[in-house]
Structure 1
Amino acid sequence: MYSSLIIGGFAIGFTACILIALFYSAEHNVNKHYTRHEQIYRVYDAKKNESGLDYKINAVIAEQYPDVEKACPLGYSYFPFTLKDPETRNYTRVEYTVSTNNNFFNVFSIPVLSSLDEKPFSQLNSAVITESLARKLFGDENPLGKTIKEEFFSATVTAVMQDLPDNSSFKAELLLNSENEEFQMAQACNDGVCIFPVEHFLLLKDNIEPDEFAKKMNASIGQFNTTTDSLALQSLSDIYLFPIKLGWTDEHSKGNSKMLFIFLAIAILIILLSSINYLNYTVSMQYAKLKEIGINKTNGAGKPHLLIDSFIEVTLGIFIALIISVLFVSLLLPATGTLFGREIHLADVNLQQLLPVVLGIVTGIIFLNSLAPIYILSRFNIADFLQGGRKRNGKQFGKQLMLTFQLTVSIALIAVVMLIFKQLQYVKHYDLGFNEEHLLRVELPWLSENQTTLRNEFSDLPFVSGSALSNGYPGLINMSMGSGVEDDEFMVECIYVTENFLETMGVQLLDGRNFLSGDKGKACLMNEAAVKRYGWEDIIGKKYNNGREGGYDVVGMVNNFNVESLHSSLSPVALIYESDREYNTLSLRLIPGNLGQQISELRKVWGRLLPDDPMEFTFYDDQFQAMYQKEDKLAKSITFFSIIAIVLTCMGILGQIFLISLNRTKEIGVRKVNGATVSEILVLLNKDFVIWVIVALVIATPIAYYAMNKWLENFAYKTTLSWWIFALAGILALGIALLTVSWQSWRAATRNPVEALRYE
């Protein structure tokens, strides 16, 4: 039983730690599969903390600075595309599209598998697709020379490249030639000046110091009419875990260094818990084997023999546990996608760095866990043994200290898990400022002439109670414009809407009026955040001067509604009532009913009006729930590893009660002979555990409070750190501790005192 508990405890602990180590290494290995990653840098504006810089800077840097070997722009699409093959009418959803130039293949060393010409982008309307996208679109056919169409562009496939590495911080299935203005992914305008914002990546020549090069750029780049003079360089390998988000494109492609620190801390705690358990059990076994040790010494065994024997036993147990844990890890690797939010492949892990660390930790654990038996053996006195004595350890404060540490860890982790789930429930049920229940968002082809007809036919269906067209929607605003205030310039998120947007979305009008038919192209509504940011006391006579001639009359103020996740604070928003234009979103308010049948009816209408386009849709509540996937996975991961830590703590408590029962066998027997009841014996054995839980609660509460307070800084809207969570964590830990010791306490309390005294 002892061996099973010892080896099983370490096997569980090692499994958890190896999984965390693999995840930690994989996260730190992102972007390091590119051949010359150490010389690749991203340019960003250090003053504004923005990486989306004017496209024309790329040519300036490439041509004017000889320290740069190659420079390429990366312009990311803000939304997925539906690509079509005009010949077969097949279509494929493309999530990741990038606008770049031929230098991309030199900077990132991406192999080109086939090409029409020496350069992948051999034509102005060239497109390069990945190997996997080529299979989706064209199957076994040769894709070169084929035409792919999207409603905004038509391009010729001039090359097929290898898929980007899985551990790349940016994704790309389709590359478009950035020299073609029609292939630019975004445009930003302010005061009538428009730029194409893209990210710029540089491959520096050997031995170029990036900070010195940045200074050189800033000293001279102003002469080329650029809009910035505070450029800085960021290493490619630092982008993924960089704490500052540099623009929209960083949001979904970044790791979380704080989360990694949490996992690393949990791994260290788990290995400490496993070691404490091993020490407890080893000590218990050594005390249980004092008779064996005495017999060995009586028969001539010296201290070196006993120490070597103990060291071999510890080493063997740990290595058996390590082998078992490696088997467990191999079984759990396919589940790492669920556990960590990304599936870990050994190719993504730097084993050359990881293996020495693991071997060092295992060696340290072996020596650490060899100290306890060495200490006991050093204090073993053969004369005491022959006289029938056993040296007591008094209150054994070391053991109490170790168990208190284990309980502190368990209480802190229980509190952390409850607080994470409390925050997730808070953000998932937070009032978003509009009614997202039964609200369907349908993506529209921008250039379709049937948008209004589609909306009208959808509205005629009996289960559709409201509908509205818009360009942008809560969750994704694809246009922002300046405030028009000379001395206080700020950006306003803009959504072009039709007249019944408020009714369909469930947004409340707080002041002024809604749109009238004569307002088209002249009026807008502002949310509370925008009115407050402008410093207006009321909206009477106010205008939104966004650079358009005459601006827009502000005719009403609506309540604040979230256009992003609750990680971000509320933004100034303008709802602009434009004349007939292209929209990208149709929002439908559905009456509660048979959802499957409703979607089927909607598909029939869509198929009749837009037969060549797939119907892509999502519900707004699902869309906002998906914004917290990382936190959901974090909660599941920490819960999993917290359960492991709690199991290890229970095993430690079990070891303690075994040792207590062993050392107090005679005392229990004497008390029972003198009339002590079973309940009194149980109180005697269990009261110390209650005291240790209370002490652990006092220590764990401020630690968990501080840790969760730091984590909640990631949210603009956060739940309260309620006192009852820490109290409940303490009660749960107490219950777990008492349940763990009750079986052994009951056995000791109900034992025949005559047998106990005879044993002594």
Structure 2
Amino acid sequence: MQKTMLRFKIKLAFRNLLKNKLYSSLIIGGFAIGFTASILIALYYSAEHNVDKHFARHEKIYRLYDAKKNESGLDYKINAVIAEHYPDVETTCPLAFSYFPITLKDPETRNYTRVEYIISTNNNFFNVFSIPVLSSLEEKPFSQLNSAVITESVAKKLFGDENPLGKTIKEEFFTATVTAVMQDLPENSSFKAELLLNSENEDFQMAQACNNGVCIFPTEHFLLLKNDIDPDDFSDKMNASIGQFNTTTDSLALQSLSDIYLSPTKLGWTDEHTKGNSKMLFIFMAIAILIILLSSINYLNYTVSMQYAKMKEIGINKTNGAGKPHLLVDSLIEVTLGILIALTISIALVSLLLPTTETLFGREIQLSDVNLQHLLPVFLGTIACIILLNSLAPIYILSQFNIVDFLQGGRKRNGKQIGKQLMLTFQLTVSIALIAVVMLIFKQLQYVKHFDLGFNEEHLVRIELPWLFENQTALRNEISDLSFVSSSALSNGYPGNINMSMGSGVEDDEFMVNCIYVTENFLKTMGVQLLDGRNFLAGDKGKSCLMNEAAVKRYGWENIDGKKFKNGREGGYDVVGTVNNFNVESLHSSLSPVALIYESDREYNTLSLRLNPGNIGQQINELRKVWETMLPDDPMEFTFYDDQFQAMYIKEDKLSKSISFFSFIAIVLTCMGILGQIFLISLNRTKEIGVRKVNGATVSEILFLLNKDFVLWVIAAVVIATPIAWYAMHKWLENFAYKTTLSWWIFALAGILALGIALLTVSWQSWRAATRNPVEALRYE
């Protein structure tokens, strides 16, 4: 009997959905859109929080860092000290990262491939991170001092189908033997590796740092603690005794591997490689919650509207003995059915959209990257809450009417339905805030993309040079003879990539100065302005430098007369001129002190060229011909400076697209909510509209009557949304050292756009109500 009754109620719910096709399409479509957006955001959120958790024992892996200096590049020898003297550590490995891509060659076949991610480490790496070794010459991957381990993908690119084991690979600064091939690191890792070099070979160390005659190899250190060891207790124990081993730090701390990716702490390689943003994840989750709330409000409004349309039916049911439980069951079945249909549609849409998440979020989301065990209970709980909310609320609202009102088809007129006004104001507030946020993000992106970098990046190209290429000057001269090259300069480092810094040489106020070794035409080629002093002369080679304004200010000099940069050589460098500030990093960072050092007869890694306007493709082909005559075995790698600096804001570009997409969804849902409100208002005021029209009211007067409240709600929403959007964007702009202004007109324009959207949405239904035959309206009433 109960099953038969349940089937009947389900059929009745289906019939009601089909009977009101427009309402049903709007409420189901709205929830389908809302669920799709929220599921995509939830998958992205979970994947970002699941980075590095694919490593077998990730919960026991920690990175060592200096808590006082807030840096993780520690002396290489600390690794051996910890491995030998601290039994709480099961195993430890060093990781030194290279920040410069290299061209890896096979000397036999002269094949080459570009490798961007190089790590210097030891055999413990494979135990700490549980990376499968696919093939190896011996038991240990690093079986020789000059061993190299390459990934499966690099082996395929460089050697094709041949066995890479035992093969020699060569780069400018090293020659190594491939002794093992490992599996590619998963995409869901906070670090990348294509080539591993044996760190026990000093020639394979990635960097050296010296201070007051003390030199170290800065290296990341990862520890795998034993299962029963508490990391805080171990840190205390380590700091109490580490000083006896002559290390350069006594404030060591541990950072969990799973915390590195989203940690706001800026340490080492995580900033150079992929790094997440916990603030952005919070914004995305806030948008997802808002979208679900907007969908629920729409569903609630439409459900109440449909229930009003069925007042007599509900009144008859109540007269025949139907109590609140019966009405609740009917509502529960109808709401559940609609939401399940919407959920089915959204799952289909999510499966179609998953391959496009690279465009949407900047990374393609794989289900294997998502922690479904954590996500599913939250998702099911959210669905249950939505069903209960949208089932109970209409019953509560309609229960305020007595049976006589139901049977007469009356509608409650006393009061101004504050609840509905609040819900609509909330929807408008969300839309206005999101419109303002999107406009401010685009304003900031336009600001940084067109910001004066302090040098002229247009028609400026850089070519990477092999460090050990002996004919760098000859290559520069050959290229400079090309008709479309107006100026050229060699340098070690360049704006956007500084590979050397030196101490200031001030004993009581030590700070770091970014250093670029340059040739004589650097200022002309780059378009950097000389503000004071003079440019380099031939006799300045090896003993003079130029400093930017930030360096002069940081030193506290009023002028540069007789000033020296006391580092880099015995006696230091004479400061002969001051140049304008120019950006050596993205606008996320503030301007830093820079010294341009005039050196001769040294290795340079960059040839910068100022090109005349013309056919870029043809010019590059001409450059390539010259290159191939002098370096036939090396590929020519080049980049335009404007493209390089634009690429620094890829994350922000993708963020703006993502937020714009989800904001559009929220605005669409708000429009659907407004549509629901005007449906209900028109339904409630049918008789009033008919009476006014009979008494001579014009269509424009009826439109004003129906639309005026929406204008007031938009104004209230603007007042609420403005401080919220201002605060959110103020916090986001803290990521930039140089930022646009939070202009008042953006918030005003967001309000005007929201008003326009609201009025356009209501106008259709208002027009229908205003132009309806009053005789039909009064007969209906």
Q: TM-score range by the shorter chain?
A: over 0.9
2:91 aligned partner: 70
Distance between the aligned counterparts of 2:549 and 2:213, measured in 1? Answer: 26
Residue 33 (structure 1) aligned to one of 31, 36, 54:
54
1:743 is aligned to 2:742? no
Runs of 4+ aligned residues of structure 1 deviating over 6 Å after TM superposition are none
1:509–1:249 CA distance, 2 compared to 1 (3 A): farther
2:518 aligned partner: 497
Q: How does 1:179-218 map to 2 (within 5 A)?
A: 179-218=200-239
Distance between the aligned counterparts of 1:559 and 1:192, measured in 2? Answer: 33
1:337 aligned partner: 358
1:293 aligned partner: 314
Distance between the aligned counterparts of 1:274 and 1:451, measured in 2? Answer: 64
Letter of the aligned partner of 2:671 in structure 1?
C
CA contact (8 A) 2:316 2:407 kept: no
**Which 10-residue stretch deviates more, 608-617 or 244-253?**
244-253
> What SS does structure 2 have at the residue aligned with 1:569?
coil
**Which 10-residue stretch deviates more, 571-580 or 290-299?**
290-299
Q: How does 1:371-520 map to 2 (within 5 A)?
A: 371-387=392-408, 389-392=410-413, 394-520=415-541
Distance between the aligned counterparts of 1:39 and 1:697, measured in 2? Answer: 49
The Cα of 1:518 is off from its aligned counterpart by 1.2
The Cα of 1:607 is off from its aligned counterpart by 1.1
Distance between the aligned counterparts of 2:88 and 2:414, measured in 1? Answer: 70
Q: How does 1:211-360 map to 2 (within 5 A)?
A: 211-247=232-268, 249-298=270-319, 301-360=322-381
Distance between the aligned counterparts of 1:129 and 1:388, measured in 2? Answer: 78
CA contact (8 A) 2:324 2:395 kept: no
**Which 10-residue stretch deviates more, 378-387 or 723-732?**
378-387
CA contact (8 A) 1:191 1:546 kept: no
The Cα of 1:300 is off from its aligned counterpart by 5.5
1:587 is aligned to 2:627? no
Residue-by-residue CA offset, 1:223-247 (whole Å, 9 max, x unaligned): 1111111111000000001112113
RMSD over aligned Cα atoms:
1.1
Distance between the aligned counterparts of 1:302 and 1:60, measured in 2? Answer: 77
1:654–1:338 CA distance, 2 compared to 1 (3 A): same
Distance between the aligned counterparts of 2:690 and 2:541, measured in 1? Answer: 93
Residue 669 (structure 1) aligned to one of 657, 665, 690:
690
> What SS does structure 2 have at the residue aligned with 1:412?
helix
1:642 is aligned to 2:663? yes
> What SS does structure 1 have at the residue aligned with 2:91?
strand
1:83 aligned partner: 104
CA contact (8 A) 2:191 2:273 kept: no
Distance between the aligned counterparts of 1:390 and 1:430, measured in 2? Answer: 60
1:249–1:239 CA distance, 2 compared to 1 (3 A): closer
CA contact (8 A) 1:303 1:377 kept: no
Letter of the aligned partner of 1:595 in structure 2?
I
1:384–1:538 CA distance, 2 compared to 1 (3 A): closer
CA contact (8 A) 1:189 1:481 kept: no
Aligned residues: 760
Distance between the aligned counterparts of 2:409 and 2:702, measured in 1? Answer: 26
2:546 aligned partner: 525
1:691 is aligned to 2:715? no
Residue-by-residue CA offset, 1:686-744 (whole Å, 9 max, x unaligned): 00000000000000000000000000000000000000000000000000000000000
Distance between the aligned counterparts of 1:224 and 1:302, measured in 2? Answer: 80
The Cα of 1:453 is off from its aligned counterpart by 1.4
Distance between the aligned counterparts of 1:531 and 1:249, measured in 2? Answer: 31
The Cα of 1:187 is off from its aligned counterpart by 1.5
1:724 is aligned to 2:745? yes
Letter of the aligned partner of 2:420 in structure 1?
K
2:627 aligned partner: 606
1:619 is aligned to 2:640? yes
Distance between the aligned counterparts of 2:194 and 2:678, measured in 1? Answer: 60
Residue-by-residue CA offset, 1:358-414 (whole Å, 9 max, x unaligned): 000000000011122211442343333345544335311100000000000000000
CA contact (8 A) 2:566 2:573 kept: yes
Distance between the aligned counterparts of 2:572 and 2:312, measured in 1? Answer: 94
2:142 aligned partner: 121
Distance between the aligned counterparts of 1:228 and 1:123, measured in 2? Answer: 32
Unaligned 5+ runs, structure 1: none
Distance between the aligned counterparts of 1:165 and 1:668, measured in 2? Answer: 65
The Cα of 1:307 is off from its aligned counterpart by 2.1
CA contact (8 A) 2:411 2:684 kept: no
Residue 681 (structure 1) aligned to one of 702, 705, 721:
702
1:237–1:248 CA distance, 2 compared to 1 (3 A): closer
CA contact (8 A) 1:73 1:200 kept: yes
1:122–1:749 CA distance, 2 compared to 1 (3 A): same
Letter of the aligned partner of 1:431 in structure 2?
D
2:580 aligned partner: 559
Unaligned 5+ runs, structure 2: 1-21
The Cα of 1:505 is off from its aligned counterpart by 0.3
Distance between the aligned counterparts of 2:751 and 2:245, measured in 1? Answer: 64
Residue-by-residue CA offset, 1:270-318 (whole Å, 9 max, x unaligned): 0000000011000101001112223444556444333211110001111
Distance between the aligned counterparts of 2:410 and 2:764, measured in 1? Answer: 29
Percent identity of paired positions between Structure 1 and Structure 2: 88
CA contact (8 A) 1:419 1:725 kept: yes
> What SS does structure 2 have at the residue aligned with 1:320?
helix
Distance between the aligned counterparts of 2:749 and 2:174, measured in 1? Answer: 59
1:389–1:23 CA distance, 2 compared to 1 (3 A): closer
**Which 10-residue stretch deviates more, 267-276 or 250-259?**
250-259
CA contact (8 A) 1:544 1:554 kept: yes
Distance between the aligned counterparts of 2:406 and 2:88, measured in 1? Answer: 79
Distance between the aligned counterparts of 2:371 and 2:156, measured in 1? Answer: 31
2:14 aligned partner: none
Distance between the aligned counterparts of 1:480 and 1:159, measured in 2? Answer: 36
> What SS does structure 2 have at the residue aligned with 1:123?
coil
2:593 aligned partner: 572
TM, length-normalised to structure 1: 0.99
The Cα of 1:115 is off from its aligned counterpart by 0.5
CA contact (8 A) 2:298 2:672 kept: yes
Residue-by-residue CA offset, 1:407-459 (whole Å, 9 max, x unaligned): 00000000000000000000010000000010001111111122111111110
Letter of the aligned partner of 2:441 in structure 1?
I
Letter of the aligned partner of 1:256 in structure 2?
N
Letter of the aligned partner of 1:402 in structure 2?
M
Letter of the aligned partner of 1:505 in structure 2?
M
1:663–1:85 CA distance, 2 compared to 1 (3 A): same
> What SS does structure 2 have at the residue aligned with 1:627?
helix
Distance between the aligned counterparts of 1:619 and 1:44, measured in 2? Answer: 36
1:52 aligned partner: 73
1:34–1:257 CA distance, 2 compared to 1 (3 A): same
Distance between the aligned counterparts of 2:63 and 2:97, measured in 1? Answer: 14
Distance between the aligned counterparts of 1:347 and 1:602, measured in 2? Answer: 46
Distance between the aligned counterparts of 1:439 and 1:342, measured in 2? Answer: 31
> What SS does structure 1 have at the residue aligned with 2:142?
coil
